Amino acid sequence: MYPHSHLDQSGAKWSDLVTIIDWQGNRFLDKLEMTANASQSQHIHAGATLNELGTVVALFADVHAEVRTLERALEQCRSANVETIALLGDLFDRAEEADRCAEALADWNVTGVYGNHEREIALAAAAGEIPLGEETILMLSRLRERIDVGDICLVHEEERWGRIDPIAKMFQRHVEPNGHHEARITFAGHTHFRSARDERGHIDITRGSLTLEDHRRYLINPGALAAGQFAIWNRETRVIEFREIEDIRGGFVRP
């Protein structure tokens, strides 16, 4: 069970946990309808502060239910003193995979966004079409379409990054075409392609790390964990370390 959660022993029901308010997915998981203790969970929420995010953050995108690879990444996170796991979407592909993924993350402070796979499964579960474990329900109910924490953005897919309205920019109204305020650092997944760029263009990250500069804007994809790729970000040193999971047979995990 997650810390400070109190569910009826007969099992959790989606109708008890979430309110479906937008079936297009913008805010389809609005809130937990649980006890006061549950609402004070230690897990990061959409209105979190930078202090709640922690100093050392792991970025996982596109796990696609590769649970053994997920567990091995979490082992590295423990060694690196990671405080928060930030999910960037597509943790799993099918309902029968969801519980195993949630169990692997059960002891961690988790925040993040859902991809199309989580969205579809959560909607089916909310409609009573499929069963999910309590920990899976709790984890899914904490995900959002997009999370903005200070000048940091977590999102599954960001196709329009960097396309700023020149008139708005001239008047210092830094709002992107999708209506969101401009984030200085955006972390996204979806493409399965590890990359980093700033407003000048693509950044060479072949050496395995990137030191963020205060006056730059960044779009960073840590790569797909299904392919053994993730990142660890130390907010204090401003260094993002790009990690690889080695396959037990030698070499690196491949999708």
Question: pLDDT tens-digit profile of 57-87?
Answer: 999 999 999 999 999 999 999 999 999 999 9
Q: What is the pLDDT of residue 162?
A: 56
Task: DSSP for the chain, please give it.
Answer: --TT----TT---HHHH-----TTSSSSS----S-HHHHT-SS--TT--HHHH-SEEEEEB--TT-HHHHHHHHHHHHHTT--EEEEES-S-SSHHHHHHHHHHTTTS-EEEE--HHHHHHHHHHHTTSS---HHHHHHHHH-BSEEEETTEEEES--TTTT---HHHHHTT--B-TTSPBPPSEEEE-SS---EEEETTEE---TTSEEEPPTT--EEEE--BGGGTEEEEEETTTTEEEEEEPBPTTSSB---
- More confidently predicted of 209 and 129: 209
Q: What is the pLDDT of residue 240?
A: 98
- More confidently predicted of 122 and 209: 209
Provide, rounded to the nearest whole percent, the portion of the chain with pLDDT above 90: 49
The band of 19, judged by pLDDT with boundaries at 50, 70 and 90, is very low
Across 107-123, average pLDDT: 88
Q: What is the pLDDT of residue 120?
A: 85
When mean pLDDT is compared across 79-88, 92-101, 141-150, 173-182, the lowest value belongs to 173-182
Task: DSSP for 18-71, please give it.
Answer: -----TTSSSSS----S-HHHHT-SS--TT--HHHH-SEEEEEB--TT-HHHHH
When mean pLDDT is compared across 42-51, 108-117, 198-207, the lowest value belongs to 42-51
When mean pLDDT is compared across 156-160, 169-173, 192-196, the lowest value belongs to 169-173
As a whole number of angstroms, the distance between CA 33 and CA 124 comes to 19
Residue tagged 């407003």 (tokens): 199
As a whole number of angstroms, the distance between CA 189 and CA 118 comes to 14
The candidate with the shortest Cα–Cα distance to 110, out of 78, 83, 72, is 83
Average pLDDT score, the chain: 76
Q: What is the pLDDT of residue 129?
A: 86
The band of 124, judged by pLDDT with boundaries at 50, 70 and 90, is confident
* Cβ-contact 89, 189 below 8 angstroms: yes
Across 38-53, average pLDDT: 50
* Cβ-contact 50, 150 below 8 angstroms: yes
Structural domains of the chain, with CATH: 14-244 (3.60.21.10)
When mean pLDDT is compared across 160-169, 194-203, 221-230, the lowest value belongs to 160-169
